[in-house]
């Protein structure tokens, strides 16, 4: 039987401007992006599944077909009658990107409202991945359901992985955000934060401070990403620094962290060595920031030595 990597969260419809007043449609979302790169980098004896909730409209059908075509399992996705997916638009003005979101009533907000289905999905997986955005979009009671489930998975010896992906605008208050993200980290084995977010929102004055805070909460391994300044790994207390790859021209940093996470996890699961995995992930992320869009196709990731 294949081993399952399960990613839990929200994938949205993405509209981007093409410059001639037309809009291009795509699909993206942090945990989905990570599933995409994990799928691209993992061997075929792993299945990668996405866990979310969608509606029963044509756009939800299209998203499921898109996920399926990417080789990512859709059988665990909950479909809710009368609901629709969330939507965001990328606005371009004078070369600067900004985002508008329509996600308040997205079906994904109900992804943990069926606890039995969630439990079954988590139990079926060896690796469980979720993020601060996954927690932020859930009603508080459902966030607690999800946290209880991942705690159970951690206790059962599964690799539970959490990217805090801090987005203050998604949270009702700083207090709730701090408490819930800390609880996410406490419930996980591996935490993969981005240092700039942690410094801005938890007030960490160094990468050491970020590592110390998450270890004190109960995370066992920590990977702190720091853009072009590389990553610092702390695996069961052993610390290593891995530099970023040199990139000639950064085109679009969308999903740099998500792709790093997916590639890192894929290589870590297969090679079992964190620094090796981080060197591989830095190469993949360097390709991703050299291309447009969140989801760079497998052929452009240089995985086969190309």
Catalytic residues: 258
In sequence order, what E strands does 179-247 have?
Answer: 190-191, 221-225, 231-235, 238-242
Does 225 engage in binding with ligand ADP (CB under 6 A)? yes
Contact residue for ligand ADP among 62, 123, 245, 252 (CB under 6 A): 245
- Of the candidate spans 35-43, 45-53, 131-139, 222-230, the one that interacts with ligand ADP by CB under 6 A turns out to be 222-230
Does 250 engage in binding with ligand ADP (CB under 6 A)? yes
Q: Would you state the structure tokens that stand for residue 178, as one six-digit string?
A: 């701090």
- Torsion, CA 160, CA 99, CA 82, CA 78, rounded to 10: -10
Distance CA 9, CA 30 (A): 8
Does 251 engage in binding with ligand ADP (CB under 6 A)? no
Contact residue for ligand ADP among 129, 260, 268, 280 (CB under 6 A): 260
Strands 238-242 and 78-79 turn out to be unpaired
Contact residue for ligand ADP among 112, 211, 282, 295 (CB under 6 A): 282
CB of 139 to ligand ADP, least distance (A): 26
Nearest residue to ligand ADP, by Cβ distance, number only: 257
Q: Which of residues 172-211 bind ligand ADP (CB under 6 A)?
A: 194
Nearer to ligand ADP among residue 176 and residue 228 (C-beta): 228
- Torsion, CA 8, CA 16, CA 92, CA 197, rounded to 10: 10
- Of the candidate spans 99-107, 144-152, 254-262, 264-272, the one that interacts with ligand ADP by CB under 6 A turns out to be 254-262
257 φψ region: left (φ > 0), alpha (ψ -120 to 50), beta (else): alpha
Judged on CB neighbours under 10 Å (0-12, 13-18, 19+), 259 is buried
Distance CA 192, CA 189 (A): 10
Q: Are 134 and 149 in contact (CB under 8 A)?
A: no
Does 256 engage in binding with ligand ADP (CB under 6 A)? yes
Contact residue for ligand ADP among 59, 217, 228, 303 (CB under 6 A): 228
Q: Which of residues 142-161 bind ligand ADP (CB under 6 A)?
A: none
């Amino acid at each position: 039987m294949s081993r399952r990597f399960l990613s839990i969260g929200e994938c949205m419809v993405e509209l981007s401007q093409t410059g001639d007043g037309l809009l291009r449609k795509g699909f993206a979302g942090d945990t989905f992006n990570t599933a995409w790169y994990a799928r691209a980098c993992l061997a075929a004896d792993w299945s990668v599944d996405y866990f979310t909730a969608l509606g029963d409209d044509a756009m939800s059908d299209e998203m499921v077909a898109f996920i399926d075509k990417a080789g990512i399992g859709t059988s665990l996705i909950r479909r809710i009658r009368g609901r629709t997916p969330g939507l965001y638009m990328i606005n371009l003005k004078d070369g600067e990107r900004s985002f508008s979101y329509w996600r308040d009533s997205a079906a994904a907000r109900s992804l943990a409202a069926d606890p039995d289905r969630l439990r079954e999905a988590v139990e079926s997986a060896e690796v469980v991945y979720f993020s601060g955005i996954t927690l932020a979009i859930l009603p508080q009671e459902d966030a607690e359901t999800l946290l209880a489930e991942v705690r159970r998975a951690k206790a059962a010896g599964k690799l539970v992985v959490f990217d805090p992906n801090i987005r203050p605008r998604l949270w009702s208050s700083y207090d709730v955000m701090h408490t819930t993200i800390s609880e996410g980290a406490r419930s996980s084995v591996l935490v993969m934060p981005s240092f700039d977010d942690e410094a801005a929102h938890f007030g960490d004055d160094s990468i050491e401070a970020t590592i110390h805070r998450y270890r004190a909460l109960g995370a066992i391994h920590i990977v702190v990403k720091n853009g072009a300044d590389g990553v610092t790994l702390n695996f069961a207390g052993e610390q290593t620094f891995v530099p970023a790859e040199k990139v000639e021209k950064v085109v679009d940093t969308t999903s740099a962290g998500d792709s790093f996470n997916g590639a890192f996890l894929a290589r870590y699961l297969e090679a079992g060595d964190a620094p090796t995995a981080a060197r591989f992930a830095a190469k993949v992320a360097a390709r991703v920031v050299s291309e447009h869009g969140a989801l760079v196709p497998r052929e452009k990731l240089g995985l086969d030595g190309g």
